[in-house]
Structure 1
Amino acid sequence: MNIVVLVKQVPDSGLERNLRQDDKTVDRDAGNLVIGELDEYAIEEALKLKEAHGGEVTVLTVGPEKATETIRKALSMGPDKAVHVSDPAIHGSDTVATSAIIAAALGKLEYDLVIAGAESTDGQTGALPAMLSERLGIAQLTGARKLTVDGDKLTIERQTDDGYEVIEATTPAIVSVWDTINEPRYPSFKGIMQAKKKPVETYSLSDLGVSADQVGLDSAWSEVLEFSGRPPKGAGVKVPDEGDGGSKLVEFLATQKIV
């Protein structure tokens, strides 16, 4: 089974994240850049499938030259090779344009299954897997908390607020996963060293036959009009207990729609 895993380099969600003042896009030069959190679960699931069924795992990312750091981190977990789509014209692309780029890159590869995180930690649209499904004409199984493969048959448990739904499809298909699906492995020292020697193929937009007019900030279907910093933390609310503290606490939680 040939599996392609989509990964993305994003600002560390544990640190403060900012937008650029000039074009209101994510400032990727400020703070630490890491592999998307859910992408690690996607990689782990691909590796588990490879161990069970054989085949090859390819990492695919779209991003600037700096994204090579994320590719090597991904490869250190165990995938066999990587594809990096990098072109200055891509800057500012929205999900629609990104899906076109990834679909074109997948057209260069042989795959049975594409696995992605359910959403990125920067854009958080959660729409990319569905867009790829439409562009490629393949089935989509999104929001998986469990994935089972039997020949060319795929079965997932799709995570919902009330439990899960069972969805089936046949390959080729795209599956997106949540962090409930597995526990990602830590790269070993051997894996880190081997990652430096694994092949990484780089494509530009022209290599993929994608016009620069189709991507970038000027072609985006969505636009950030304005933004502001996080407001300062205010004082907490005190609930005095005069024998009815429990009732007051429940009333307060209800007004905040917590209960």
Structure 2
Amino acid sequence: MSDPLNAPPGVDPTKSSVARLYDYLLGGKDNYEIDRQVAREMAAAVPEIAQTALENRNFLIRACRFLAFSAGVRQYIDCGSGLPTTENVHQVVQRADPTAKVVYVDYDPVVASHGRALLDENDFTEYIQADIFDPMSILDNPTVQNHLDWNEPIAVLFIAALHHHKGDRGAPAAVTKKFVDRLPSGSFLAITHLIDAADSSPDDQAVQDLVEAIHKGSMKDVTARTREEITQLFHDLEMIPTGPGRPAEIVAISDWWPDGPRLGGQTVAQRIMAGGVARKP
């Protein structure tokens, strides 16, 4: 890869994998003890961390329903897709159109084996093993080029992915810029991201404790960003309003078009991840 600091690792059962960690938090079985250990360390800082993973998955489902049923998008690139679980992108969007096309992208070889299994059951779903922080390895990939029609709108999803970049704090914005520049008019970008303690009050300490727990563990790679920094990842695209009569902005993921009224207050888990969806004119 062009960035040695973010070179895709092989499967190493002594080092936690982001994909396997999320798999465990979502109740999956494709994980090692080291992944469960990191999850326990995260839970010591934020006991509701499994709920955060579930809230993130629910945001993905709501965003895909909007993109497929309301916006009429029929092509998707899921960057940092992780291990297949219930309600994957293709399952949501193909309810709107069974011929909707999806390309899943992840660097983890364990994800690769599961991703390829998707090909056996769905002719409109493809998988590539690539580094999401090397955007040209995705954009110029023959599978991506041939599977999708680059004259028609495409939705690019970075769901809980960009905060795992190691190194330059501003680098993820350069990553999303490559995608934005290449996408045709009418395309969409959806992002969720760990929000910086300065913007997550009253959860400042929870975010700080969570980041510290990850940095002390075997995974190490997570960077919280402010609401302004997350907004910059969209590069002046047209943000979608976050609900009826609500502004178009970055919000806590549980506040983006929730499925119904909230009957109680937000938990820490619901507040420490933020995101949004935006359209390219």
Q: TM-score, normalised by structure 2?
A: 0.34
Q: Return the structure number with greater strand share.
A: 1
Larger-gyration structure (1/2): 1
Q: Which has the higher contact order (CA 8 A, sep 6+)?
A: 1
Q: TM-score, normalised by structure 1?
A: 0.36
Q: Return the structure number with greater helix share.
A: 2
